[in-house]
Structure 1
Amino acid sequence: MSNLRKLLFPFSLIYHGITEVRNRFYDLDILRSKSFEVPVIAVGNLNMGGTGKSPMIEYLIGELSKKYKVATLSRGYRRDSKGFQLVEETDPVERSGDEPLQFKSKFTDTIVAVDVNRKEGIAKLMKFSPDVILLDDAFQHRKVKAGFYILLTAYNDLYVDDLILPAGNLRESHTGASRAKLIVVTKCPQDLSKEEMRIIRKKLQPEVHQEVFFTFIKYSEKIISENEEIKVERITSDFVLVTGIANPDPLIGFLNSHDIRLKHFKFSDHHKFSEKEIEELSKENRILTTEKDYMRLRNRISSEKLYYLPIEVGFLNNKSREFDKKILDYINKNEV
Structure 2
Amino acid sequence: MRRLRLLLLPFSILYGAIVFVRNWMFDNGWLKSTSYDVPVICVGNLSVGGTGKSPMIEYLIRLTKANYNVATLSRGYKRKTSGFLVANAETTAADIGDEPLQFYSKFGDEIIVSVEAQRTVGIEKLQLLSNKPDIILLDDAFQHRKVTAGFNIVLTPYNDLYVNDFMLPAGNLREPKSGAKRANVIVVTKCPTIVAKSEMLQITDQLKPNAQQHVFFTTIAYSETVQNETAQLPLFSLKDEPFVLVTGIANPKPLLEYVNDLGLLYTHLKYPDHHDFSESELNTITQKAGNQKIVTTEKDFMRLQGRLDNLYYLPIEVAFLADEDVFQEQVMQFIDVSI
Distance in structure 2 (CA, Å) of the matches to 1:94 and 1:186: 28
The structural deviation recorded for 1:237 is 3.1
**2:68 matched to which residue of 1?**
68
SS at match of 1:107: helix
Deviation beyond 6 Å, 4+ runs, structure 1: none
Would you say 1:171 and 2:174 are equivalent positions?
yes
Would you say 1:252 and 2:267 are equivalent positions?
no
Distance in structure 1 (CA, Å) of the matches to 2:106 and 2:137: 16
**2:140 matched to which residue of 1?**
137
**Sequence identity (%):** 53
User: Does the 8 A contact of 1:220 with 1:309 survive in 2?
Assistant: yes
Would you say 1:232 and 2:244 are equivalent positions?
no
User: Does the 8 A contact of 1:88 with 1:101 survive in 2?
Assistant: no
User: Does the 8 A contact of 2:242 with 2:265 survive in 1?
Assistant: no
The answer for unaligned runs of 5 or more in structure 1 is none
Would you say 1:123 and 2:124 are equivalent positions?
yes
CA offsets 1:172-204 (integer angstroms, 9 cap, x no match)? 001100000000000001111001001000000
**1:270 matched to which residue of 2?**
274
Counterpart code for 2:306: N
**1:186 matched to which residue of 2?**
189
Would you say 1:329 and 2:333 are equivalent positions?
yes
**1:288 matched to which residue of 2?**
295
Distance in structure 1 (CA, Å) of the matches to 2:187 and 2:276: 30
CA offsets 1:197-231 (integer angstroms, 9 cap, x no match)? 01000000000110000000000011102221111
Would you say 1:110 and 2:114 are equivalent positions?
no
CA offsets 1:34-62 (integer angstroms, 9 cap, x no match)? 11110000000001111000000000011
Number of residues paired by the alignment?
332
SS at match of 2:191: coil
Counterpart code for 1:217: I
Output the TM-score relative to the length of structure 1.
Answer: 0.97
SS at match of 1:150: strand
Distance in structure 1 (CA, Å) of the matches to 2:121 and 2:244: 42
CA offsets 1:65-107 (integer angstroms, 9 cap, x no match)? 0111000000000111011111223312111100000000101
The answer for unaligned runs of 5 or more in structure 2 is none
The structural deviation recorded for 1:238 is 3.8
User: Does the 8 A contact of 1:89 with 1:101 survive in 2?
Assistant: no
**RMSD of aligned alpha carbons:** 1.0
Distance in structure 1 (CA, Å) of the matches to 2:306 and 2:144: 33
SS at match of 1:282: helix
The structural deviation recorded for 1:239 is 1.6
